[in-house]
Chain A
Amino acid sequence: MNGTTIFTVCGILLFAIGLYGALAARPLLRRILAANIMGNGVFMVLVAGAYLPADGGAATGDPVAHALVLTGIVVAVSATALGLQLVCRLHELASGDREPDP
């Protein structure tokens, strides 16, 4: 049971928890958060998999996987922002009390 295994298992658990939340939760905000938790689980698995035990020198990571996760974080943030904006808009239109246009 080394560090990589622990992080991988935690990532998988995060993914499962997020999956359950995304499917079971009714409020849209909670679904967005759950999808984020899923994504974080995936990132965790990827980063844990990128860890390379020290071969001679210091321990390193696979830079391609790190770059993938970095890209993934930015895309996840963007998708979350878009989802939040759509939810905001939905509430605005549903509640009907839109602010008067200036």
Chain B
Amino acid sequence: MDLADGNDERAARAVRVVLALGCGVVAAVLGWALAADGSSAAGLATEVRAALPRSGVEHPVTAVLLNFRAFDTMLELAVLLVVAIATGATAAVGQIETRPDEMPAAPSSPLLESLVHDLVPFAILVGAYLLWVGAYAPGGAFQAGAMIAAAGVLAHFSPRFRPQVPDRWPTRGILVLGTAAFAFAALAALALTGVYFAYPVARAGAWILAIESAATASVAAALYVTFRAIMPADRLPDAQR
């Protein structure tokens, strides 16, 4: 840690040069490995295309995420949930939930207010559109959730429109909703078709839409709650400090 001495500084520079050389070697090896990779580049596109009619959606990426590799996506939602819990656990007390005595601080700029006022509903609408369009075009639960969370972040900066985060159980319910919907769907599919995560083919689209809606809510809530936990605590106006 102590780099004050000239000797140490020179040593640190030498270490950095060695590190840079090492990283260059790593890059070279990676490039060589990828260039020497002789396997065919076909990937799994053919298999996905062949199975697409039975997936319930028309967009291959959504089909992979919500049907063919649904287990991965469930774990991805679990990662989001864990992060939301961990950031919330290390945040200051009262950082996430809206407290009853929380009063908006001095009004921010009118420009921000009008931007939030006009843009946030539109952003939520775009989020809903992304969720819906995921069935046959790029889009889906994660894009929609990110969009809605971004709307929440934007609104967060305006004291007048700052989203209210209800205390404890409602928030936790929304956070868990996506993972729970996935787990429930997996078990229900197991009961109905006998295979874990194999939705009934005829109604697969409806299953996917239901899971995606729950996932959207969870993704948006997890991202926004995490953001709220990280933001510096400015919840009390200066006069009350």
Cα separation A19 to B73 with both chains bound (whole Å): 27
Interface of B (DSSP majority class): helix
Out of B15, B43, B83, name the residue touching A50 (CB < 8 Å): B43
For A28, list chain B residues within 8 Å (CB): none
Assess whether B43 is in contact with A20, with CB atoms less than 8 Å apart: no
Give the residue name and chain of the B residue nearest to A42 (CB): B30
Give the residue name and chain of the A residue nearest to B24 (CB): A16
One digit per residue, 1 when the CB lies within 8 angstroms of any chain A CB and 0 when it does not, for chain B 11-48 equals 00001100110011011001100100000011111001
Known contacts A19-B23, A52-B43, A85-B86; is-contact A67 B61 (Cβ 8 Å) = yes
CB proximity of B145 to chain A, nearest CB, Å: 9
CB proximity of A63 to chain B, nearest CB, Å: 4
For B16, list chain A residues within 8 Å (CB): 24
Out of A19, A24, A66, A75, name the residue touching B76 (CB < 8 Å): A75
Interface size for A (C-beta < 8 A) is 43
Binds A, one of B108-116, B121-129, B228-236: B228-236
Binds A, one of B91-99, B156-164, B205-213: B91-99
For B61, list chain A residues within 8 Å (CB): 63, 66-67, 70
Assess whether A62 is in contact with B43, with CB atoms less than 8 Å apart: yes
For chain A residues 66-101, which have a beta carbon within 8 Å of chain B? 66-67, 70-71, 74-75, 77-79, 81-82, 84-86, 88-89, 92, 98-101
For B76, list chain A residues within 8 Å (CB): 71, 74-75
**Interface membership of B60, Cβ < 8 A:** yes
Assess whether B83 is in contact with A81, with CB atoms less than 8 Å apart: yes
Out of A20, A62, A65, A89, name the residue touching B23 (CB < 8 Å): A20
Cα separation A85 to B86 with both chains bound (whole Å): 9
CB proximity of B18 to chain A, nearest CB, Å: 10
For B63, list chain A residues within 8 Å (CB): 63
Cα separation A82 to B89 with both chains bound (whole Å): 11
Known contacts A12-B30, A75-B76, A78-B80; is-contact A85 B229 (Cβ 8 Å) = yes
